[in-house]
Amino acid sequence: MIDQLLASVTDGMLVGVVYGLAAMGLTLIFGVMNVINLAHGPIMALGMFTVYLAYTSLGLNPFLGLLLAAGLGLILGVIIYWGAVHRVIDAPHLSSLLSTFSVNMIIIGIGTAIFSTSFRNVDYSLGIVTIGPITVPGTRFTSALLALGITGLLYLFLYRTRPGKYVRAVSDNRTSAGLMGIASNRVLALSFGLGTMLAALAGGLIAMALPFTILSGGSYELKSFVIVVLGGLGNPIGALLGGVILGLIEGLVPVFTKITWVPVIEFVLFVLILLVRPQGLFGAKQ
- Whether 186 contacts 66, CB under 8 Å: no
As a whole number of angstroms, the distance between CA 239 and CA 231 comes to 5
Radius of gyration of the chain (CA): 19
Number of helices (H), then strands (E), belonging to the chain: the values are: 11, 2
- Whether 67 contacts 179, CB under 8 Å: no
Residues 61, 64, 90, 91: which binds another protein (CB under 8 A)? Answer: 91
Q: Cβ 144 to another protein, closest distance in Å?
A: 12
Q: Cβ 128 to another protein, closest distance in Å?
A: 7
Count of residues that bind another protein according to CB under 8 A = 78
Q: What residues numbered 12-31 form the site for another protein, per CB under 8 A?
A: 12, 15, 30
Please enumerate in sequence order all residues whose Cβ is within 8 A of that of 281, keeping only pairs 6 or more positions apart, or say none.
230, 231, 232, 238, 241, 242, 245, 273
Q: Is 219 among the residues that bind another protein (CB under 8 A)?
A: yes
As a whole number of angstroms, the distance between CA 163 and CA 29 comes to 15
Residues 72, 84, 208, 246: which binds another protein (CB under 8 A)? Answer: 84
Q: What residues numbered 107-136 form the site for another protein, per CB under 8 A?
A: 107-110, 112-114, 116-119, 121, 128, 130, 135-136
Q: Cβ 178 to another protein, closest distance in Å?
A: 22
Q: Is 267 among the residues that bind another protein (CB under 8 A)?
A: yes
Q: Is 254 among the residues that bind another protein (CB under 8 A)?
A: yes
Residue 42 backbone phi and psi in degrees, to 5: -60, -35
Q: What residues numbered 145-184 form the site for another protein, per CB under 8 A?
A: none
Beta carbon nearer to another protein, 34 or 186: 34
Q: Is 196 among the residues that bind another protein (CB under 8 A)?
A: no
Q: Is 61 helix (H, G, I), strand (E, B) or coil?
A: coil
Amino acid at 115: F
Q: Cβ 10 to another protein, closest distance in Å?
A: 9
Q: Is 207 among the residues that bind another protein (CB under 8 A)?
A: no
- Whether 49 contacts 111, CB under 8 Å: yes
